[in-house]
Structures are given as structure tokens and as C-alpha cells.
């Protein structure tokens, strides 16, 4: 199981202090070798976090990247090569918070290609909005996001999918288990052999319900991952 901590726009150097708890937990938690933990902090913390986690098997990733992997006059932007250079092994692409800010499927496709060229693994986010869900066009929306996002990418082996219904992010609301199972299945049929994660309001209270959905390969945790205790709790409960 994969557990991805998406810190979003959170954290300073002092936020790294509690990571030793996660580190210690990970080292002593030998129950299941399939456990993978990936931290995606803001870019400012990638380097110090990678250093802090150097001796552990916890990996570090970024939350977004520019679509070009060469240097260029793009003020405020960081590309996938630069992220790799400071210790990132993964990058989240297509998060709904960036889609809502204007990121198109085409741009997402360019970003994924650029990240793969730079040797990063990609956590590719897809998900429908509440109005799309109400219109019952979830599968159509996901299909389009997948098709355009992965356009002309022949090798998907380094792309993980994070299904994050927009209406579930930061709201405390999670999909019904049977609906989630069906949607994850739909995604898995579209992208053969790909691991599919769920994200959206994952917390220590709802993890027991979520973990029972057997086709989920991991969780993308936003708010709750900023608190090491909660994040550890989520992982522990998943394996209990």
C-alpha cells in the first residue's frame, strides 16, 4: 500500500521536526513489506526533507512541475529536472486545485511527459466535480482526463493514478464504498496494470471504511498528513 502525504501549501523548516516519528514508525513497522510512504512537501522543503529522510525508505516528491524540462524565462516556475536535482523522486500532476486554477488536460499531458523524461515517477490526479457527479457523467469525465492526460505516453509503468473526487477534497465527505469500488475498477480497466490511489478527506476516522475497498492501492492524504500522529494512525489502522 502507498501512502502519499500531500502537504499542499503548508510547512516551514520546523515542520520537519515531527518526521522522526514517522521515520521511527516506518522502521519498526515490519508487519507488511508492501508499505510505501511518499512525502510531497512544498518545493522549499524538498531538499531539507530528503536529507532528513536519507536513511529511511520514505521517499520525497513534489506537488507540481513546469511542462518544460529545459531552463527558460518562466518566472516563479520549477521544472521536473530541478525537482529531481534536489531529491524528488515523484511529482503530483493534475491536482484539481491546479486544474481549477486553469491547468488543462493538454498541459497536464506535457507535464507528465516532461516529468517522465526527467526520471520522476508521476502521481496523476483525476476526479469529477460535484456538478459532474450529479449529472452522472463521472466515467465520461474520468475517461477524458485519462485519455488526454496520458496521450502518446506508451509506457505507463511510472505513472500512478490518484482518483480524487473534487467534492471530496478538504470537505470531510467521502464517496460511498460501492461507488468508489466501481469507479476504481473503471479506472483500472482503462489503464491496465496501473496502481490506483484514492484521495479526498482521508483521515483516521474514515480509514477503516476506506481500507475495506479492496481494489484501492493506496491513499493520497492532504490535511491529515500535516500531522504526523494522524498520518501514522491512518497507516496503522489500514494494516490492522
Q: Grid coordinates 476526479 are at which residue?
A: 127
Instruction: Out of 95, 97, 103, 128, pick the active-site residue.
Output: 95
Give yes or no: 66 in active site.
no
Which of 59, 103, 128, 164 is catalytic? The answer is 164
Smaller CB distance to ligand PGA: residue 116 or 123?
123
169 binds ligand PGA (CB under 6 A): yes
Q: Cα dist. 64→8, 47, 82, 91, 230 in Å? A: 10, 15, 12, 6, 24
Q: Which of 129, 124, 69, 138 is nearest to 95 (CA)?
A: 124
User: Under the criterion CB under 6 A, does residue 221 sit at the interface with ligand PGA?
Assistant: yes
Total of chain residues touching ligand PGA, rule CB under 6 A? 13
User: Which CB atom, from 151 or from 213, has the smaller least distance to ligand PGA?
Assistant: 213
Q: Candidates 87, 222, 230, 238: give the one binding ligand PGA (CB under 6 A).
A: 222
Give the start-end residues of each E strand in 25-137. Answer: 36-40, 59-62, 90-93, 121-126
Contacting ligand PGA (CB under 6 A), which of 41, 165, 200, 218? 200
Segments of the chain assigned E as strands? 2-6, 36-40, 59-62, 90-93, 121-126, 159-163, 196-199, 218-221
Among 46, 202, 210, 234, binds ligand PGA (CB under 6 A): 202
CA 146 to chain centre: 15
Instruction: List residues binding ligand PGA (CB under 6 A).
Output: 6, 164, 169-170, 199-202, 220-224
Q: Which residues are annotated as catalytic?
A: 95, 164
Amino acid at each position: 500500500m502507498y501512502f502519499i502525504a500531500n502537504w499542499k501549501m503548508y510547512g516551514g523548516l520546523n515542520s520537519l521536526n515531527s518526521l522522526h516519528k514517522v521515520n521511527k514508525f516506518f522502521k519498526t513497522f515490519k508487519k507488511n513489506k508492501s508499505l510505501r510512504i511518499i512525502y510531497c512537501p512544498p518545493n522549499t522543503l524538498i531538499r531539507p526533507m530528503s536529507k532528513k529522510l536519507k536513511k529511511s525508505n520514505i521517499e520525497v516528491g513534489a506537488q507540481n512541475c513546469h511542462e518544460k524540462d529545459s531552463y527558460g524565462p518562466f518566472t516563479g516556475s520549477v521544472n521536473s529536472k530541478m525537482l529531481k536535482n534536489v531529491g524528488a523522486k515523484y511529482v503530483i500532476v493534475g491536482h484539481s486545485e491546479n486544474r481549477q486554477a486553469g491547468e488543462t488536460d493538454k498541459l497536464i499531458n506535457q507535464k507528465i511527459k516532461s516529468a517522465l523524461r526527467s526520471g520522476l515517477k508521476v502521481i496523476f490526479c483525476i476526479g469529477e466535480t460535484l456538478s459532474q457527479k450529479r449529472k452522472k457523467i463521472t466515467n465520461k469525465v474520468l475517461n477524458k482526463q485519462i485519455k488526454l492526460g496520458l496521450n502518446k505516453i506508451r509506457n505507463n509503468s511510472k505513472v500512478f493514478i490518484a482518483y480524487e473526487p473534487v467534492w471530496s477534497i478538504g470537505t470531510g465527505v467521502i464517496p460511498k464504498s460501492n461507488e468508489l469500488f466501481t469507479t476504481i475498477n473503471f479506472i483500472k480497466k482503462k489503464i491496465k496494470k496501473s496502481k490506483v490511489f484514492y484521495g479526498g478527506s482521508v483521515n483516521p476516522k474514515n480509514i477503516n471504511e476506506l481500507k475495506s475497498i479492496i481494489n484501492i492501492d493506496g491513499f493520497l492524504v492532504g490535511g491529515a498528513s500535516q500531522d504526523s500522529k494522524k498520518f501514522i494512525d491512518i497507516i496503522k489502522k489500514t494494516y490492522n
